[in-house]
Structure 1
Amino acid sequence: MAELRDDEEEGSRIEQFRALVELEPEDYLGHFGLATAYFEAGRFREAAEEFRATLSLKPDYSAAYRYLGQSLEKLGEAEEAREVFLKGIEVAQRNGDLQTKKEIEVFLRRLGKPAG
């Protein structure tokens, strides 16, 4: 029963952010919120699309690189994930966003290790 409620809440969050993006298509935080909702729902392809939309509106938003890289990794697109992580590290460093930089570096190191 709790699982059904969680699915309904995720769907509701997705719908709320989708409506926000339709009303304010230039709002990078709306796209980021929608992308995060997709990511949390395990809808990584849609998440990646929305993280890309976020970055097209705000190319220096380092958190979006972190999640885009993770989404691509989940989709099995390791090389593209690596490129995104490297760009994210560069952007985070430039912004002084050291926590996000460290997080991305951890994901990049994990990407280089074989699963198991």
Structure 2
Amino acid sequence: MPNPRIEPLKKVLAIDPNDEVAWFGLGKAYMDDGNWDAAVESLESCIRVKPAYSAAYLALAQSLQKLARLDRCREICRQGIEVSTKNGDAMVTKNLEALLQTIG
């Protein structure tokens, strides 16, 4: 059964395609469903709308790892570390660094 959060978030985005919180929520909902391709698409949209959204980089990197898209995953980890460090989001930075070490 698809995640019940997906359709309401899509409706929000139909009204405001620049709602980074809705893009992030949609990406996380797809992650919960194991729909990694859709998660990547939504999280990339989140970052396009708000490039300083630290948590979106972590979720995107995790989704890319699940798809074995490791080169892109490394790239997103590095970008996310830069953004999260600038934002003072120490936990996101720590998690991105750990993920980067895991994939090499």
Q: Of the candidates 28, 31, 55, which is equivalent to residue 36 of structure 1?
A: 28
Query: What's the CA shift for 1:109?
Result: 1.1
Give the length in aligned residue pairs. 104
Between the aligned residues of both structures, percent identity stands at 38
| SS of aligned partner of 2:14 | helix
Which of residues 17, 40, 45 in structure 1 aligns to 2:9? 17
Structure-2 residue corresponding to 1:68: 60
Instruction: Output the aligned Cα RMSD.
Output: 1.0
- The reply on whether 1:56 has 2:48 as its aligned counterpart is yes
TM-score by length of 2: 0.95
Question: RCO greater where, 1 or 2, for CA within 8 Å and sep 6 or more?
Answer: 2
Whether 1:80 and 2:72 are equivalent positions in the alignment is yes
AA of the residue aligned to 2:95:
E
Give distance in 2, aligned partners of 1:35 and 1:18.
Answer: 11
Q: Which has the larger radius of gyration?
A: 1
Q: Which runs of 5+ in 1 are unaligned?
A: 1-6
TM-score normalized by structure 1?
A: 0.85
Distance in 2 between the 1:105 and 1:56 partners?
Answer: 22
Q: Per-residue displacement from partner, 1:65-90 (whole Å, max 9, x unpaired)?
A: 10111111111100110010011001
